[in-house]
Amino acid sequence: MASVTLDDGTILACDCLLVSGGWTPTIHLYAQAKGKLAWSDEVAAFVPGAKVDGIAVAGAAAGLVGLGQVLASGVEAASGQPAAAGAPRNTGIEATLRILPAWPRTRQHGRTWIDYQNDVTSKDIELAARENFVSVEHLKRYTTLGMATDQGKTSNLNGLALMAEITGRAIPEVGTTTYRPPYVPVPLSTLAGARAGALMTPIRRLPLESVHRGENAVFQEYGGWLRPAYYGNADAREAIRHEAEIARRSAALFDGSTLGKIEVIGPQAAEFVDFIYYNTMSTLKVARCRYGFMLSESGVVYDDGILARLADDRFVVSCSTSHVAGVHMRLEEWRQDRFDRARIQIHNATSQFATLTVSGPRSRELVETLGLGLALDDASLPHMAVSGGSFGNDPVRVARVSFTGDRSYEISIRADRAAGLWAAMKEAGGPLGMATIGLEALMILRAEKGYIVIGKDTDGTTMPQDLGVDGPRIKRTSEFVGRRSLSTEEANTANRKQLVGLRLADGEPPLATGAHAVERHGRHKRSIGFVTSSYWSPTLRRPVALALIEGGSNRHGETLDFQHLGTIVTATISPPCAFDPDGERLHA
């Protein structure tokens, strides 16, 4: 701002313009206590009217400006009696406002701004009057007068005066809007209080954190948990690749305690998990596991994981680390909303148990040395089965499930007894050439197999059919969360982004995660998808990548351009699984 031009042509040089809504007493507390306002021509403002029990108004809040008046009103408010002789008084000249109203007028040339924050002009108020929004509450909502952050402190009275002139009424006849707390906006920091930083989202820690630190683990935060990314003091990239390579060649030990372990118990448990999951789960046999999706009501994949059936009326939901709280909340919400709460109980046992996972071709040899008291042959404990055993005097649950594509065993034990089991597994794995691996190596192993991470390899539009799981959508007749949304026009478009693998030319480095697949139209380019995961595979000796590509399931073998930071790289669409596509290593 450089200047302001007045109506008479006078130009005032300035770099800041202050807007006044007139001299108005701060009467909010009085009005919020149901006090009735009165109009004062002397100060051209609303002032407190009749007395309200328990409320005393004095000084400027009562519309008084002279020092003598202010002192006298203060004494009366404090004592309940008029000021007596000897009370504080003014010995000088009494101040007066001598206010001359300068209300906005109708049919003025140009724009006459009334509310500078919400851009309300005199023409807006005139239009409100023509539309018969003459009630002060209607005026406020029709024009947004007084609804900005100052809540009308600089604009309301000017707007009321203009409405009074337009409708031929006095300002007090137009009235005022309802005074509601607070007088000033409540800062978000006040609402948050002490919930900031670590107090807002506390870092969760593994039961075996001290053990991992003793083994030179390098920690990073994953899904709100502090977890080992890799082990050792070597270069991070080399350490991670070395862990992944040994995991494929021999065996790998991994701390998977952060995975959700939420129990669903009761006579309606089977019916309940059928409703919660996209897949039919009630047909699952006792001591067996099944992989499934949970959908949002919009049909989008919310989480994936293993469901284990321990008894006819007892299931364990294994969900993603970062979704444990959300899944628990969803289970409780649907339990209370749709089912008999007396016939289903939900128990989040995630922090009660530690889960130690061993994976790789020699994983069975390792588990056999632990003396868990259960048969490990493929007939007794096949892939996707669960069984109970014991480690010493402590019960354990052993699930033969895999996130690496190799034979794997997840052993869950009381969290306070996990250190002994970890030490025994380390000792047994030494002669087998086993490696302890962190989460980064695990990400390479699962990407080689095309296994997804929700929120990384999916986005807020990904539906199960985009991930190649279309059967339940077509065949299921019972209700489940998100079912109707899978029948919408959007859910059935041909150009939906679908999960694919990517194969690069020999010698190319891994693609950048987030690189966009681009389609050319003359000089213009359009994104048709993006890379979701990308790693160097030490086992395959080449990069592996997953992506979401428009119509990807029908484009296998097609070569696309991928752009990242101005660089174009070509890659060929392939199936998501790049390693052991027949799944033979699950039984190796």
Question: Does residue 373 contact residue 361 with C-beta atoms inside 8 Å?
Answer: no
What are 206's two structure tokens? Answer: 């593994």
> Looking at residue 99, what is its pLDDT?
82
- SS3 of 510-554: CCCCCCEEEEEECCEEEEEEEEEEEEEECCCCEEEEEEEEECHHH
Q: Indicate the residue type of 142.
A: Y
Comparing 79-83, 130-134, 544-548, 573-577, the range with the smallest average pLDDT is 79-83
- pLDDT class for 221, splitting at 50, 70, 90? very high
Residues 6+ apart with CB under 8 A from 579: 405, 448, 449, 537, 539, 540, 544
DSSP state of 178: P
Q: Indicate the residue type of 318.
A: S
Question: Does residue 280 contact residue 472 with C-beta atoms inside 8 Å?
Answer: yes
- pLDDT class for 21, splitting at 50, 70, 90? low
The predicted-structure confidence for 516-529, as pLDDT tens digits, reads as follows: 999 998 889 999 99
Omega into 182 within 30° of 0, i.e. cis? yes
> Looking at residue 27, what is its pLDDT?
87
Query: What value does the mean pLDDT take over residues 355-372?
Result: 97
Handedness of CA 351, 353, 356, 357 (dihedral sign): negative
What are 440's two structure tokens? Answer: 């980064």
Handedness of CA 134, 138, 142, 144 (dihedral sign): positive
DSSP state of 322: G
> Looking at residue 86, what is its pLDDT?
67
Torsion from C-alpha of 272, 276, 277, 282, nearest 10 degrees: 0
Q: Is the pLDDT of residue 68 over 80?
A: yes
- pLDDT class for 179, splitting at 50, 70, 90? confident
Sheet with 385-391, side-by-side order of all strands: 345-348, 262-265, 314-317, 301-311, 288-295, 385-391, 394-400, 408-414, 353-359, 252-255, 435-436
Query: What value does the mean pLDDT take over residues 99-112?
Result: 84
Q: Report d(CA 404, CA 9) in Å as an integer.
A: 80
> Looking at residue 473, what is its pLDDT?
95
Q: Report d(CA 492, CA 86) in Å as an integer.
A: 87
> Looking at residue 449, what is its pLDDT?
98
Q: By C-alpha distance, which of 369, 270, 262 is closest to 311? A: 270
Q: Which of 24-33, 60-69, 87-96, 258-267 has the highest mean pLDDT?
A: 258-267
Classify 484 as helix, strand or coil: helix
Query: What value does the mean pLDDT take over residues 322-337?
Result: 96
Classify 414 as helix, strand or coil: strand
Q: Report d(CA 517, CA 531) in Å as an integer.
A: 8
Query: What value does the mean pLDDT take over residues 254-272?
Result: 97
Query: What value does the mean pLDDT take over residues 283-294?
Result: 98
Query: What value does the mean pLDDT take over residues 4-27?
Result: 86
Classify 25 as helix, strand or coil: coil
Element (H, E) at 393: none
Q: What angle do CA 172, 174, 178 make, to 5 degrees?
A: 90
Query: What value does the mean pLDDT take over residues 182-198?
Result: 77
Question: Does residue 563 contact residue 524 with C-beta atoms inside 8 Å?
Answer: no
> Looking at residue 441, what is its pLDDT?
98
Query: What value does the mean pLDDT take over residues 466-486?
Result: 96
Q: Is the pLDDT of residue 194 over 80?
A: no
Q: Report d(CA 166, CA 188) in Å as an integer.
A: 40
DSSP annotation string for 119-141? TEEHHHHHHHHHTT--SHHHHHH
Q: Is the pLDDT of residue 376 over 80?
A: yes
Query: What value does the mean pLDDT take over residues 73-85?
Result: 81
Query: What value does the mean pLDDT take over residues 479-489?
Result: 96
> Looking at residue 219, what is its pLDDT?
97
Q: What angle do CA 300, 304, 309 make, to 5 degrees?
A: 130
Side-chain half-sphere exposure of 143, counting CA atoms within 13 A: 35
Please identify which residue in the block is written with the tokens 């991670």. 240
**More confident of the two residues 195 and 351:** 351
Strand blocks (E) in 266-407: 288-295, 301-311, 314-317, 345-348, 353-359, 385-391, 394-400
Strand blocks (E) in 54-210: 113-115, 120-121, 204-205
The predicted-structure confidence for 497-506, as pLDDT tens digits, reads as follows: 999 999 999 9
Q: Which of 86-100, 169-183, 193-207, 340-354 has the highest mean pLDDT?
A: 340-354
- pLDDT class for 321, splitting at 50, 70, 90? very high
Q: Which of 31-35, 66-70, 411-415 has the highest mean pLDDT?
A: 411-415
**More confident of the two residues 183 and 119:** 119
pTM across the whole model = 0.73
What are 144's two structure tokens? Answer: 């947004």
Q: Report d(CA 274, CA 168) in Å as an integer.
A: 68
Question: Does residue 289 contact residue 399 with C-beta atoms inside 8 Å?
Answer: yes
Query: What value does the mean pLDDT take over residues 297-306?
Result: 97
The percent of residues above 70 in pLDDT, for the chain, comes to 99
The predicted-structure confidence for 530-581, as pLDDT tens digits, reads as follows: 999 999 999 999 999 999 999 999 999 999 999 999 899 999 999 999 999 9
Query: What value does the mean pLDDT take over residues 436-442?
Result: 98
DSSP annotation string for 71-88? HHHHHHHHHSS---TTS-
Q: Is the pLDDT of residue 83 over 80?
A: no
Q: Is the pLDDT of residue 90 over 90?
A: no
Q: Indicate the residue type of 446.
A: R
Q: Is the pLDDT of residue 200 over 80?
A: no
Q: What's the mean per-residue pLDDT of the chain? A: 93
C-alpha 296: how far from its chain's center? 14
Q: Is the pLDDT of residue 183 over 90?
A: no
Query: What value does the mean pLDDT take over residues 161-189?
Result: 87
Q: Is the pLDDT of residue 85 over 90?
A: no
